């Protein structure tokens, strides 16, 4: 059985995930969305960027990497928020 080869490049790690994060935060600020919808919006943006921009010619790769973009942005935001809250509470 051969497993598929997945190539992660500079675009995936350094540009796409921060783009999803920034776009999600801008939508959250300007549209005043409830907090429970923000992860879904991040996932939708990640899928859209992946399917329509970075992996136009391969739908399976677009779907797979779109989930990666969305969930990497969600995890990065949660990690950063937890770290900031911890250091604010530690200094008090």
Domain limits for position 32: 14-91
pLDDT, residue 92, reads 72
Global confidence as pTM: 0.82
Mean pLDDT calculated for residue range 40-50: 95
Mean pLDDT calculated for residue range 14-27: 93
Structure tokens at 52: 């329509």
CA distances 86 to 28, 56, 81, 83, Å, are 23, 41, 9, 5
End-to-end CA distance of the chain: 56
- Residue 51 placed within a domain: yes
Q: How far apart are CA 29 and CA 41, in angstroms?
A: 13
pLDDT, residue 41, reads 96
- Residue 2 placed within a domain: no
- On average, the pLDDT of the chain sits at 88
Q: How far apart are CA 14 and CA 36, in angstroms?
A: 26
Number of domains in the chain: 1
């Amino acid at each position: 059985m051969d497993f598929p080869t997945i190539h992660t490049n500079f675009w995936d790690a350094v540009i796409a995930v921060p783009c999803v994060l920034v776009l999600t935060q801008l939508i959250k600020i300007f549209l005043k969305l409830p907090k429970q919808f923000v992860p879904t919006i991040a996932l939708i943006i990640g899928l859209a960027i992946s399917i329509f921009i970075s992996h136009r010619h391969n739908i399976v790769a677009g779907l797979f990497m779109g989930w990666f973009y969305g969930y990497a942005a969600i995890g990065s935001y949660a990690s950063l928020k937890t770290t900031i809250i911890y250091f604010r509470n530690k200094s008090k």
